Amino acid sequence: MRALIVSDNHGDEKILEDIQEKFANQVDALIHCGDSELQNDSEAMTNFKAVKGNNDWGLDYSAQLQLTVNGVKFLVVHGDHDRVNYSLTPLMLKAESLDEQVVCYGHTHQLAVSMESGILFINPGSISLPRGEYSRIGGTFTIVEVTEQQFIVDYYNRNCVPIPELHFEFNRS
């Protein structure tokens, strides 16, 4: 199972179209962690399972999504209501209570990946307005591959090229 995860494009439709053109047929799910600032029926968003971000005023997205993709359980949130700027603990407690395997979140504009209590946490970073240590890349998204034994996470830049130093593998518990 492979899922592409993106967040915080802030109105940049072209980048979402480019990503879909390149990867839509290579993944089982397209996930957007909010702050698209685009209508859910826009061409750029129609294939994404998306949540509402703090800048998605008046748009018709849910605050959180639970989806199962080929047997893998995902929780998708933006993160602003889960205090991800300060700690992953509230989000971890929510994921544990819902028995989720992968948690996708955005909001911070900083990419992050970790394994906590047997749950994979992924922030793809902002594809359009990155912050933090990897902002020099100019925007990122991620693809997670889930096998029976591992979570394999690769980050990509805006040119849809993988970033070798941002390849991660976690054993599933």
Per-residue confidence (pLDDT) for residue 64, from 0 to 100: 97
d(CA 110, CA 160): 18
Provide the CATH number for the domain around residue 153.
3.60.21.10
**What is the percentage of the chain residues whose pLDDT exceeds 90?**
98
Q: Domain range spanning residue 134?
A: 2-171
Q: What separation in angstroms does the CA of 43 have from each of 38, 124, 128, 164?
A: 9, 21, 18, 31
Per-residue confidence (pLDDT) for residue 105, from 0 to 100: 98
Say yes or no to pLDDT of 173 above 90.
no
One-letter-per-residue 3-state SS of the chain: CEEEEECCCCCCHHHHHHHHHHHHHHCCEEEECCCCCCCCCCCCCCCCEEECCCCCCCCCCECEEEEEECCEEEEEECCHHHCCCCCCHHHHHHHHHHCCCEEECCCCCCCEEEEECCEEEEECCCCCCCCCCCHHHCCEEEEEEECCCEEEEEEEECCCCEEEEEEEEEECC
**What is the percentage of the chain residues whose pLDDT exceeds 70?**
100
Per-residue confidence (pLDDT) for residue 26, from 0 to 100: 97
Q: Which residue type, as a one-letter code, is found at position 58? A: G
With contact defined as beta carbons under 8 Å apart, do 20 and 155 qualify?
no
What's the structural domain count of the chain?
Answer: 1
